[in-house]
Structure 1
Amino acid sequence: MLFKNKSEVISLKDFMSSPAASIQKEKPLQTSIYSIFPVITIGDFFPIQEPGFALFFISTGIIAAIALCEKWLAMNGFTDISGNISRMTSVLFPVVSYGALFWFLFFGMRG
């Protein structure tokens, strides 16, 4: 530090004195302020009643079930069936994923 800044020294008695009594207190707000965010519930996170989310939820469950089934078959020695499932899903899942992305970008955002 080349330049030392001067420090102001205040005694404890002056620091602890009560000048706050002379400061005017603000009145509490009299009007109601409504939030810009809606109430967040579990139903908001998982809107099963909406067809788009239900389709997403079901398809995600099917993909997870196929992956778990493939892993279980491979662990139990059914490598030929597991290999067939792996080859089929390596082609099918990207086609479905890109198709869903295309649908979402061009048809799903009509609001």
Structure 2
Amino acid sequence: MTVNFDNLNLLPEIKDLLIRANSPYLSKRELSNYLKVSESFIKQKLYSGEFVENLHFFKIGDAKIIFDRLEIDKWIRVQASKGENDGKPLPKGREALSKYLSQWKESHSSDRA
């Protein structure tokens, strides 16, 4: 049996990647990748006060901010539970889907009665 040790030099980098992947904290860039949004979206939520310091994020020093992945997950669920885009108009494609779902709910709720 032949063992190839060519990639042993990659082990420290792989270790660092695994540690970061399992960390409960995220940088702005990591959070934007995690949520699949732009970094400017993250900054907007910070400046608007929607992300709360010492809940959703923590400051380290004057400039470094880290986000709590679990609290961000809770925030996502709250946003999703608000429904219809938080009172904002839905994009046209989604208006039809929303209307269809509302009609479906009504028709199925009358079946139960």
Structure whose alpha-carbon radius of gyration is higher:
1
Alignment TM class, shorter chain as reference? under 0.3
Q: Give the TM-score normalised by structure 1.
A: 0.23
TM-score normalised according to structure 2 size: 0.23
Q: Which has the higher contact order (CA 8 A, sep 6+)?
A: 2
